[in-house]
């Protein structure tokens, strides 16, 4: 906490020099690392993340005018000012301030408010951006909590998480809710199994003989700036509909792969067998999907696909469903191993993480050469398991490493990946650190 207190004091000084006044309160929201369960939350399945110690802080002063002024301690992110009464979010440009506006608009709409008070806000963060550690969702959550506090309203952490998950979609990302949930529901010292519909979080105690190490590939990927992420969401939605049709369910009401399993009342392992029978490994064209479902191309575009996936020509439904059902099973196995704590816990968890990376790479195709190389290096130098974490296509890996091996592991990975002969990785982007489960979002009244 002393480090956080120092940051708050520094933020107070910077706020004063920027706005000529003192903040009334501060809000903190953490980043997160997902230990296992990639790309399954928006399919209705549980995930197993923990909050990291890196976070976002916002210093806030409500003002009498209707102007919202946003500033950032990082000069890469320019100041932004707008009227608090007309919030416009431009989906075509995932600029930093739009994530703040998402959180603000979510709270505004939840309470049905037409007018919001103005405020001055200064944002400070130490989560590496576009790294898969959820810096953007932390900003949405921070903004939601800022707005709630300014209004003097109360909501539970679960309600806040659900509102922020929904409101991040204003930026065009069809996410599932893991990032916002762990940001609010995290507790120091424990990972969480997060389940959806209804949203709930259960403590998962991690093995004491191991640590989780995050390594940044230094390839940036902004979910809202690329179509990769939303295409995967639609492929899963289409796979769910084709599986439902194959099993004579009311497919037009089905949106998530989990719904198909729930309606059939069978295990994840059995769902993998149904997938083998119902879907073919060759990619589907929009025309073939229409034939399978008995709909027109126009109906596919307007009733099923999101606007930013209208022009996609191929959909890999078999591969995406196989990943989701197998990954959902790995999440439950991971939790079970942590609970039972056999002697070889670390090795077993590592195997699940390795399987997860393989599935992300081969079936979900959300890895990239740098992530694969980094995972290989981490395993070579003693990680029991290593995988990409976050959406993928760049960002970070997470590895499980025996405590006794940590010092040599960090030194060797640093040398093998970051100290490249061609010096192609800028030193300030290096991010290699062991992390412990951190706490969730908070409001501070004094600094």
CA nearest neighbour of 371 among 220, 211, 225, 212: 220
- Residue 35, classed as helix, strand or coil, is strand
Task: Report the half-sphere exposure of 289 (CA within 13 A, side-chain side).
Answer: 29
pLDDT of residue 78: 96
Strands 210-216 and 118-125: unpaired
How much is the pLDDT for 39? 97
How many other CB atoms sit within 10 Å of the CB of residue 303? Answer: 10
Please give the pLDDT value at position 224.
58
CB-CB contact of 283 with 316 (8 Å) = yes
Q: Please state, in angstroms and as integers, the Cα–Cα distance from residue 6 to each residue in 58, 142, 290, 447, following that order.
A: 14, 19, 59, 9
Q: Which of 179, 252, 362, 422 is catalytic?
A: 179
pLDDT for the residue 135: 87
Q: Return the pLDDT at 275.
A: 98
**In the chain, where are the structural domains located?**
1-205+437-445
- Asked if residues 418 and 432 have their Cβ atoms less than 8 Å apart, the reply is yes
How high is the pLDDT of residue 421?
47
Instruction: From residue 429, give the alpha-carbon distance in Å to each of 128, 132, 299.
Output: 8, 14, 45
Q: What per-residue confidence (pLDDT) applies to 447? A: 57
Cβ atoms of residues 412 and 389 within 8 Å? no
What does DSSP assign to residue 363? T
Give CB contacts under 8 A, 24+ apart, made by 426-430: 426/218, 429/128, 429/216, 429/218, 430/216, 430/218
Widest Cα–Cα separation across the chain: 67
277 is catalytic: no
- 1-205+437-445 placed in CATH 3.30.230.10: yes
Q: How many residues does the chain have?
A: 447
**What 3-state class would DSSP assign to 417?**
helix
The per-residue DSSP string of 234-253 comes to HHHHHHHHHHHHHTTS-GGG
Secondary structure of 89-106 as H, E, C letters: CCCCCCCHHHHHHHHHHH
CA–CA gap between residue 346 and residue 351 (Å, rounded): 9
8 A C-beta contact, residue 55 and residue 31: yes
What pLDDT does 348 receive?
98
Please, what's the b/e burial string for 236-247 (b: 16 or more CB within 10 A of its CB; e: otherwise)?
bbbbbbbbbbbe
- pLDDT at position 84 is 87
Work out the number of other CB atoms within 10 angstroms of the CB of residue 278.
19
- Give the pLDDT means over successive 10-residue stretches in the chain (447 positions): 84 97 96 96 96 94 94 95 88 87 94 90 89 87 96 94 91 82 95 94 95 92 75 97 98 97 98 98 98 97 92 97 98 98 97 98 97 98 97 94 96 90 54 91 84
């Amino acid at each position: 906490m002393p480090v956080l207190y120092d940051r708050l004091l520094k933020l107070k000084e910077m706020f004063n020099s920027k706005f000529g006044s003192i903040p009334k309160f501060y809000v903190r929201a953490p980043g997160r690392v997902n230990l296992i369960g990639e790309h399954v939350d928006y399919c209705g399945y549980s995930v197993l993340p923990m909050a990291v110690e890196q976070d976002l802080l916002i210093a806030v002063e409500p003002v009498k005018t209707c102007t919202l002024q946003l500033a950032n301690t990082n000069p890469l992110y320019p100041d932004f000012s707008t009227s608090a009464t007309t919030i416009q979010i431009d989906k075509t440009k995932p600029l930093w301030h739009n994530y703040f506006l998402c959180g603000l608009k979510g709270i505004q709409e939840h309470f049905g408010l037409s007018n919001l008070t103005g405020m001055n806000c200064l944002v400070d963060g130490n989560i590496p951006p576009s790294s898969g550690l959820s810096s953007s969702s932390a900003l949405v959550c921070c903004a939601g909590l800022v707005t709630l506090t300014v209004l003097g309203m109360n909501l539970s952490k679960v309600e806040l998480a659900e509102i922020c998950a929904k409101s991040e979609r204003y930026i065009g990302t069809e996410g599932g809710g893991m990032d916002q949930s762990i940001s609010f529901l995290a507790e120091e010292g424990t990972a969480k199994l997060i389940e959806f519909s209804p949203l709930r979080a259960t403590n998962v105690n991690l093995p004491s003989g191991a640590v989780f190490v995050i390594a940044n590939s230094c390839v940036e990927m902004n979910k809202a700036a690329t179509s990769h992420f939303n295409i995967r969401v639609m492929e899963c939605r289409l796979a769910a509909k084709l599986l439902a049709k194959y099993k004579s369910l009311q497919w037009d009401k089905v949106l998530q792969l989990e719904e198909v399993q729930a309606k059939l009342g069978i295990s994840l392992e059995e769902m993998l067998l149904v997938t083998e029978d119902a879907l073919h490994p060759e990619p589907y064209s929009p025309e073939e999907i229409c034939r399978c479902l008995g709909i027109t191309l126009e109906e596919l575009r307007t009733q099923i696909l999101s606007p930013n996936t209208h022009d996609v020509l191929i959909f890999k439904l078999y591969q995406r469903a196989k990943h989701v059902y197998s990954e959902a099973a790995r999440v439950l196995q991971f939790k079970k191993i942590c609970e039972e704590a056999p002697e070889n816990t670390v090795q077993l968890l590592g195997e699940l993480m390795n399987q997860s990376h393989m599935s992300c790479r081969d079936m979900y195709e959300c890895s990239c050469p740098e992530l694969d190389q980094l995972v290989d290096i981490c395993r070579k130098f003693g990680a029991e398991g290593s995988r990409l974490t976050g959406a993928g296509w760049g960002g970070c890996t997470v590895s499980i490493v025996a405590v006794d091996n940590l010092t040599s592991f960090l030194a060797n990975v640093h040398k093998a990946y970051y100290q490249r002969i061609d010096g192609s990785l800028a030193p300030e982007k290096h991010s290699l650190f062991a992390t412990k489960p951190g706490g969730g979002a908070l409001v501070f009244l004094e600094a």
